[in-house]
Structure 1
Amino acid sequence: MTFHIALPRLMRVGAGAIQELGDVVAELGARRPLIITDPFMQKSGTADIAARALSTAGFEGGVFAETVPDPTTESLVVGLEAVKQHEADVLIGLGGGSSIDTAKALGFLSLNEGPMRDYKAPKTNTGQSLPVVAVPTTAGTGSEATQFTIISDSETDEKMLCTGPSFLPIAAVVDYELTLSMPARLSADTGVDALTHAIEAYVSRRANPFSDGFALAAMTAIGRNLREVYKDGSNRNAREAMMLAATQAGIAFSNSSVALVHGMSRPIGAHFHIAHGLANAMLFPVVTEFSVTGAEARYADCARALGVAGVEDDDEASAQALVTELRALNEDLAVPTPQSYGIGSDDWDRLIPLMAEQALASGSPANNPVVPDASAIEALYAKIYA
C-alpha cells in the first residue's frame, strides 16, 4: 500500500523565523506579496513585523486586515477585491486559523470560478491557487501544514470543510515567539485543538506510518506542556514545544484525517459561534469514550504518549486512562459545557438533528474507529450539553 503525502515546499521553524519572511517570498520568485490578517494583528503591531521583514527584502507588501473569526463566504468578497487591487502573486496568511484559512480560500477563489460551496467536501480540489505562505500566531490549528480550509456558508450557516492540495500552503514560517502574548483561554483552546488533531490522526481509519510518527510526537509534547502554557504563558520552552507540536499535529491529520470530534465540532461553531478548539474540548472526552472500542490499542498508545499510562499497562486500562485524562484536562483548563457557556437547552435541542446531519455530511465521522449513524451523533450532542 502507498500513502499520498503532501507537505509545504518550504518551512522555516524557530525563534525569529518571521524575520526570514522576505527570504521565503524571494525564494518562491514572487514579487507582489499581500498580508492577509485580522484587525488585532494589525493593531498589536504583529502585521508591521511581517511588513518590515518583506520591506527589508525589497518587497512592497500590502496588508488586508479585515479577516473575521470563522470566515464566511460573505467575508471573502472584500478580500478577493483586495487581492485583485494589489495584483498579488503570493498571499501571506498571518494569524490564527481563521486568517490562514481566509488566505487559502482567497488564493483558490482568485484562480477558480464559482461559489465556495461548489468546492466543499467530499470534493477533493486540485486546481490552481495563488501560493500561500502561512505564518501562524497560535499553537493549535496546524493550518500552516494542512490541505484544508474551513469557510462558513453565509446563506446556510454550514461550516464547510474544503479539502485538497489546492489549499496546502506552499510555505510555512513557524515562529513560537509570536505566541508569547496569547491569553490563557486561547492557549487552552488552541492547545486542545492540536491534541485533538494528533489523537484523531492516530486513531483514524486513514492513519498511516508517516502520520503516526508526527501524531505521537505531538501528543507527547502537548501532554508535557499544555497545562504549563495555560498557567504561565511566559514559559518560552513550553511555548516553543506547543508551537512545534501544533505543526506536527497539522502534518499528521493533513496526511491522515480527523474524525468524529471534528465532524461534530464544526456545526457547534457554526450555529453557536464557539471557538473551534473550545468546541472540540467540549466533545473530546465523551466522543473518545464512545470510540475506544473501535481502536483500543491505538487509544492505549495515545495514553502512553501523553504519559498517563505505561508500557506495563494493558490496552483496555490504558485506553480508559486516556478518557480519564481528557476529563481531567477539561477540568484543569476550565472548559465549560454548552449549558454553562450560556446556550439555552431549547436552542441546543432544536438544532441537534441539523448538527448531526451536517456532521455526517462533512465526511469526518466516517474516519472514526466507531462509525456513528445520525442517532448516535444526536445522543452524543445531548450527552455533552450539561
Structure 2
Amino acid sequence: MSNRMIWNQTAHFGAGAIAEIPGELASRGFAKAFVVSDKVLVDTGVTGRVTRLLDDMGFPFEVYSDVTPNPPIEAVLRGLAAFEASGADVLIGIGGGSPQDTCKAIGIISTNPEFADVRSLEGVAATKNPSVPIIAVPTTAGTASETTINYVITDVERQRKFVCVDPHAIPVVAVVDSEMMSSAPRSLKVATGLDALTHAIEGYTTKGAWELSDLFHLKAIATIAESLLGAANGDPVATERMALAQYIAGMGYSNVGLGLVHGMAHPLGAFYNAPHGVANGILLAPVMAFNADATGERFRDIAVALRVEGAADLSIADARMAAVAAVSAFTRDLGNPTTLREIGAKEEDLPALAQAAFDDVCTGGNPREVTVEQILALYWSVY
C-alpha cells in the first residue's frame, strides 16, 4: 500500500507575509490577476492590503467579490464568466473557506470546461488539467483551503453541499499572514478555530490516517489547544500560532480524509446556511463519543495533546472519556453554540439531514461504520 501527500509548491508564513506576493507574481511571469474575495473583506479594507501591493508594482487586476458563505453554484458560474472575460492568467483567493472554494472551482472549470455544470465536480472528479494557477491568502485560521485539494460548493436547488476532491485544485502558492486574520470578529475566530480542531481530530482518527499525517494532526491539536482562546481574544502571537496550526492540520486531512462530523455539518450549511465551524463545534464531542470504541489508543493521544492531566496513565476507557470531555469543555468555554436549535434547525428536517450526512463523501472516512438511523439519533442528541 502506498500513501500520497500533496502540498503547495510554495508557502509563505508569518506576519507581513503578503509582501511576498509581488515577487511570486513576477517570478512566475503572470500578466494579470483575478482577485476572488467577498464584499465584507473588500468593504473593511482587508482585500485592499493585497491589491495595494499590486497597484504599487503596476500589476493589472480585477476584483470579484460576489461570494457568499457556503458558496452556491450560481456564484461560481458568475465568477467563472467574469474571470474568462477579464483576460487574467492567475487567480488570487483572499478570504476564508468561501472565497477560496469559489476560487478553486473557477480555476478548475476554466481549464476543464467539460465540468461547467459544477455538480459533476463532486467527489473525485476526473479532471485532466491543473487549475488556473492560484495564490491563496487566507483571512481566517480554520479551513486551510490554501493547502488542501478539497473545496465545498452548495447546491441551493437541491439543498445540499458537496465536497470536491481534486489534486488539480491545490493553490500553487499559499501566503499565510496572521495580520490578514487579526480583524476578524471573535465569533468568526472561534468558529474557524473549531473547524481547524475538527480537521485535526478527524484527520487523526480517519480510516486513512498514517504516520506522516499523524505528526501533523497531533501538532495541530496541541497548538490549537494552547492558542485558540488567545487568538479569539486578539492576542497577535496566538493568532500567528493559530494561522500555522490550521495550515498544519490542512497538510494532513487534505491527504487522508475526515469523518462523520464533517458529513453531518455539511447538510446543516446547505439547509440553514449555518457557519461550517459552528456546526462542527456542536457536533465534534458527540461524534467523538460515538466513535470512541473504534479508535484504539488515539483518543489517549488526543487527550495528551489537549493537556488533560494524567491522560497517559488512564485506562483506555477513561482516556477516551477524558478526550471527549476536554473537547466538550473547550467548545463550551469558547462560547460556541451547543444545540442545533441555536442555528435554526427544524425537527421535521432531521431525517433528511441524516440521509444527506450518510451520503456525504466525508462520512466514508469515519473510523466507525454508521447507519442513517444512528446519524439521526446523533442529530437528536444535540437538537
- Structures share a fold, TM > 0.5? yes
For the pair 1:279 / 2:279, whether they are aligned, the reply is yes
How much identity, in percent, do the aligned residues show?
36
RMSD across aligned C-alpha pairs, in angstroms?
A: 1.5
Q: Give, in angstroms, the shift of residue 125 of structure 1.
A: 4.3
1-structure distance, mates of 2:341, 2:91: 39
Distance 2:265 2:249 in 1: 18
Q: Counterpart of 2:249?
A: 249
CA apart distance, 1:316: 2.5
Tell me which residue corresponds to 1:130. Answer: 132
2:39 is the alignment partner of 1:47: no
Deviations 1:7-53 (A, max 9, x none): 01111111101111111222333211111000111111122211122
TM-score, length of structure 2 as denominator length: 0.95
Tell whether the 8 Å contact from 1:126 to 1:164 is kept in structure 2 after alignment: no
Contact 2:69 2:273 in 1 (8 A): no
Aligned partners of 1:296 and 1:319 also within 8 Å: no
Q: CA deviation at 1:358?
A: 1.6
Q: 1:237 deviation in Å?
A: 1.0
The answer (yes or no) to whether the contact 2:194–2:281 under 8 Å persists in 1 is yes
Residue matched to 1:204 = 206
Counterpart mapping for 1:218-367 below 5 A: 218-230=220-232, 232-233=233-234, 235-309=235-309, 310-341=311-342, 343=344, 347=346, 349-367=347-365
Sort the Cα spacing of 1:85 and 1:382 in 2 relative to 1 into closer, same or farther, 3 A: same
Matched letter for residue 89 of structure 2: D
- Cα deviation for residue 176 of structure 1 reads 0.6
More displaced 10-residue stretch of structure 1: 137-146 or 302-311: 302-311
Match of 1:375 in 2: 373
Residue pair 1:133, 1:171 contacting (<8 A) in 2 also = yes
> Alpha carbons of 1:124 and 1:383: their partners in 2 closer, same or farther (altered >3 Å)?
farther
Q: 1:374 to 1:271 in 2, by over 3 A?
A: same
**Structure 2 residue aligned with 1:62:** 62
More divergent stretch after superposition (160-169 vs 276-285): 160-169
Q: 2-side partners of 1:315 and 1:53: how far apart?
A: 53
The whole-number CA distance in structure 1 between the counterparts of 2:136 and 2:36 is 10
The offset of 1:336, in angstroms, is 1.8
8 Å Cα contact 1:304-1:318 kept in structure 2: no
Give the TM-score normalised by the residue count of structure 1. Answer: 0.95
- Offset at residue 251 of structure 1 (A): 0.9
2:326, 2:243 → 1: CA distance?
A: 22
Aligned partner of residue 305 in structure 2, secondary structure? helix
C-alpha change, 1:41 and 1:96, in structure 2 (3 Å) is same
Taking the aligned partners of 2:118 and 2:264, their CA distance within structure 1 comes to 21
Find the aligned partners of 1:361 and 1:17 in 2 and give their Cα distance.
Answer: 40
Which stretch shows the higher mean deviation, 138-147 or 115-124?
A: 115-124
Map 1:140-219 onto structure 2 (within 5 A).
140-219=142-221
Deviation per CA, 1:157-202: give whole Å up to 9, x if none.
2101011112211110000111111211111100000000001111
C-alpha separation in 1, matches of 2:305 and 2:141: 19
Q: Distance in 1 between matches of 2:301 and 2:269?
A: 30
User: Is the Cα contact below 8 Å between 1:300 and 1:316 reproduced in 2?
Assistant: no
State the one-letter code of the partner of 2:65: A
Identify if the C-alpha distance between structure 1 residues 206 and 342 changes in structure 2 by more than 3 Å, giving closer, same or farther.
Answer: closer
1:339 shift after superposition: 4.8
Distance in 1 (CA, whole Å) between partners of 2:14 and 2:41 is 20
Letter in 2 for 1:368: N
Superposition deviation, residue 128 in structure 1: 3.0
Moved more, 291-300 or 331-340: 331-340
The C-alpha deviation readout for 1:53-102, integer Å capped at 9, x for no partner, is 22334411211121111100011222112101211211101011101011
- SS of the equivalent of 1:173 reads strand
| 2:66 counterpart letter in structure 1 | E
Moved over 4 A (4+): none
Any unmatched runs of 5+ in structure 2?
none
Does the C-alpha gap of structure 1 residues 342 and 10 become closer, same or farther in structure 2, counting only changes over 3 Å?
closer
| 1:122 to partner: Cα distance | 4.8
SS at match of 1:133: strand
Would the aligned equivalents of 1:64 and 1:82 in 2 still touch at CA under 8 Å? yes
**Greater shift after overlay, 165-174 or 119-128?**
119-128
The answer on 1:384 being equivalent to 2:382 is: yes
Distance in 2 separating the partners of 1:132 and 1:282:
32
1:5 paired residue number:
5
Residue 361 of structure 1: CA displacement?
Answer: 1.8
